Structure 1
């Protein structure tokens, strides 16, 4: 009788893992909690007897969570760039997909990741837009800078720092954390890339873009 609910739970976990962005990180947290429970239970068992049935549930939770994580690795990416619309719309789309890609576990596993290729597409589009000398608003500059600071080229970091700095000076963006953070992070990344010390201590620490 229990087989049907278990199968349904497995299928539901697989479906939600495939459909919901970043669900794999939630499942990883569940796995971690279950492992902590097992460790604590193991310590308790060294002092007193614990019914083994209490160990079955965390093992089941770990198994189903790992299955969900595995399924999430096959979740497709969205379109990396948008070729239609105005430059501002294209830059905003590139910025959003840049962030969405980094909230997928598959982006950090080589055999599943397409992050480098997708970053290249975004970088090329941003450079094309900047090369046309279009009039860009401060928010557009922020979006462009965010994509550029995920490059691997020092010159791109320099350009990102310049654009982010210009965006951060806009009174309308003075209190926007992401904009002010990028101004410092892009500048630090450029400084480090040319062999100089960072000034804002923004590199190699947990940061807004989770990278």
Structure 2
């Protein structure tokens, strides 16, 4: 009885943490992968040895079950609004960038049946940032970086071109020349733009992805 209570009790704190923090779900996923690897190893050992301590099978299974329950609970955590309409331009762009990154640190971003939800959030951010760009309101170096990241996560060649323009301008600023992420984005946006046009990438930053060329 006690052996069954332990995993049931463990689900509570694990679930609470997964609900409160996005990264916990990714950590739980990693723990599940390790547990499954242990199970595979135990299965191989058992195939060659008739005797194997039952703990080698029971413990990884219990850990996997607890972590899976935590991940499911974490899926119910509400996301922050994709954008904010208050504050100045810098505030809006910084917020859009932060939610863009936070979204991609959640399990739901990698689950096919929830991808539509993520795509809608990307679309909301693109709409806001696109309007700011069309109104020539993006001028500060970090604002250009934030905006470029949002355009970078679109699926249109014309928006990749804008992303590359903004990222390149941000990367050329003396205050950002030592910022690794800013410099990386300038290269990544160029590669993505080129690949979207059917041309070879220059810096090797891109995996395969689909775009619509406009």
Pairwise same-fold verdict (TM > 0.5): yes
CA distance in structure 2 between the partners assigned to 1:4 and 1:43 by the alignment:
29
Assess if the C-alpha contact under 8 Å between 1:188 and 1:200 holds in 2: yes
Check conservation: 1:73, 1:112, Cα contact below 8 A: no
Give how far 1:44 is off.
2.4
Of 75, 78, 96, the residue aligned with 2:77 is 75
**Retained in 1: the 8 A contact 2:148–2:164?**
yes
> Alignment length, in residue pairs?
205
> Which residue number corresponds to residue 45 of structure 2?
44
Matched with 2:132 is 129
2:106 is aligned with 1:104: yes
Which residue number corresponds to residue 212 of structure 2?
Answer: none
Deviations 1:22-59 (A, max 9, x none): 21111111111111111222222234321223321111
Alpha-carbon RMSD across the aligned residues, in angstroms, is 1.6
Q: When the two structures are superposed, what TM-score results if normalisation uses the length of structure 2? A: 0.90
Which residue number corresponds to residue 208 of structure 1?
Answer: none
Structure 2: how far apart are the matches of 1:46 and 1:6?
28
Unaligned runs of 5+ in 1: 206-211
Cα distance in structure 2, aligned partners of 1:36 and 1:7? 23
Question: Which structure has the highest helix share of the two?
Answer: 2
- Asked if 1:92 is matched to 2:101, the reply is no
Question: CA offset at residue 7 of structure 1?
Answer: 2.7
Q: Does 1:175 align with 2:181?
A: no
Q: Distance in 2 between matches of 1:200 and 1:54?
A: 46
Work out whether residues 107 and 115 of structure 1, in 8 Å CA contact, stay in contact via their aligned partners in 2. yes
The SS at the match of 2:114 is coil
